[in-house]
Structure 1
Amino acid sequence: MTSKSKPTKGRKPEKIQHPDSRVAAQHVRRAARKDRLADLRSKAKSKAATRLEFYSFIQSRLPPDSTYLSLPEIHAILAVWVSRHGAEISLEQTARRKGRPKSAKETKLEEVQLREVENYKTGVEIPDLTDRDMLQKFRQWDMKSLGYAHTLRFIRVSSLQQDMAVVSRPPTATGHEANDDEAPQLLDDQMDET
């Protein structure tokens, strides 16, 4: 009796493709797209985590008895946020011997701090804490996902113009940024004509 190898169930043997063939190019494009999408997903997760960290920092610094915040109070919270890495940077500087280059951690912290200072100068978007209702909604947020953020009104504040805040994003019921104001108005106009 001769022993036969068992056939693989449900699988066809893989064909070896020529590197310059059309099918090989499709595989390369498919793999490149997969990598690109994975990279975009990781960047989106990182950005969402950074925003959640920022919003939870603001939420942790809210005075417990206040019903709304004034602009100077908001700027005081943001000043603490921007300078929060100062102690770590100074520790890294004192730990470094004279004439030695900066550590990777110190360089990274300085870059983060510089970027946040620059963002604060140009204008940073935060929930509208000057409004009682928005502050109450912001306190109710559990900070687990950004899905709740669309129900809040956001304002843009800047360190250069501390007496001014501009509404940058109004709250939406659906979470979509689209402007749906025009459609109901058109429907009302058409109904008036008939």
Structure 2
Amino acid sequence: MAPTKTSKSSSATTKPKKEKIFHPQSRKADQLVRKSIRKEKLVGQSTDRKQKNSILADFYGFFYHSLPPEGTLSLDELHNLIANVWLTRFDEELEAERSSRRKGRPKSTKEQKLEELKLRESEQYRTGFEVIDLTHAPTVALFRTWDQKQVAFIDLLRFIKITSTNPQSVVVVKPGKHITIVGAGGGDSNLSKTTTKDAETEGEKDVEMGVDTASSGVSTPSILAEPLERFASTIMTMDEPIS
């Protein structure tokens, strides 16, 4: 029997395809450059978006883990949570940096960043701190169903603005979009009085609410009795990581 003819392998017969080289000033070369720049830009935007969403998820996660086992927070408890837990979360780290610095030595980059962050957030709280309305029962009930990942879900909730200079003043800056919140209005909030404020914020009317000032003392919320370790996974900065 005559031997069969063996076919050569494709790798041996097929020569590697040469990459086309275009003149640097040609139209095709210009198109390739623009395509490459656009691709890099899209990748950069995607990375920034993911990083921003991660930071926001951590920020809202702090308040998610601060929810009481049942019910809502009072306005005093919400102020105490921001002033005594959120704004002081880096105090021990900042003090450690100051203590380790020898006399006459300049501040470390980390110490400077921590001081700038604390100053910026304190000023934000003084002029108006936007936060999920944890005094509003329908908002809290919906917030409890959050998966702690999807930042878009947070847009369904009601947001208020509170200040350290006027603790009794509350302004609704985002009334909430979910049907359980829209239908409930402001009646289920711990805030006792509601008045309409003649102002526009991003096309929506703000609602300013005062609280009953019969109680002169500020109660210490049960959340502040909790160890800080409870918030270890969520106490993070809204800015880039501090190193």
- TM-score range relative to shorter protein: 0.7 to 0.9
The separation in 2 between residues aligned to 1:141 and 1:114, in whole angstroms, is 31
Matched, 1:75 2:71: no
The separation in 2 between residues aligned to 1:173 and 1:62, in whole angstroms, is 19
**Code of the aligned partner of 2:15:** P
Cα pair 2:72 2:136 within 8 Å, conserved: yes
* Residue of 73, 81, 92 corresponding to 2:97: 92
The separation in 2 between residues aligned to 1:88 and 1:158, in whole angstroms, is 26
| Change beyond 3 A, Cα 1:173–1:83 | same
**1:55-86 CA distance string (max 9 Å, x none):** 11112223324x22222211111112112111
Matched, 1:56 2:61: yes
The separation in 1 between residues aligned to 2:171 and 2:53, in whole angstroms, is 23
Contiguous gaps of at least 5 residues in structure 1: 180-194
Alignment of 1:28-47 (within 5 A): 28-47=33-52
Identity %, equivalent residues = 43
The separation in 1 between residues aligned to 2:134 and 2:175, in whole angstroms, is 13
| Change beyond 3 A, Cα 1:141–1:19 | same
**1:116-156 CA distance string (max 9 Å, x none):** 22332332322111211111222222312213213211222
Deviates more, 1:39-48 or 1:87-96: 39-48
Alignment of 1:139-154 (within 5 A): 139-154=144-159
The count of corresponding residues between Structure 1 and Structure 2 is 168
TM-score (norm 1): 0.75
The structure richer in helix per residue is: 1
Alignment of 1:1-194 (within 5 A): 6-8=14-16, 13-65=18-70, 67-79=71-83, 80-173=85-178
Shift of 1:5: 5.6
Shift of 1:50: 1.9
Cα pair 2:131 2:159 within 8 Å, conserved: yes
The separation in 2 between residues aligned to 1:160 and 1:21, in whole angstroms, is 64
**Code of the aligned partner of 2:40:** D
Contiguous gaps of at least 5 residues in structure 2: 1-11, 180-202, 204-243
The separation in 1 between residues aligned to 2:130 and 2:123, in whole angstroms, is 13
Cα pair 2:157 2:178 within 8 Å, conserved: no
What is the root-mean-square deviation in Å for CA atoms of aligned residues?
A: 2.4
> 4+ residue runs of structure 1 moved beyond 3 angstroms?
none
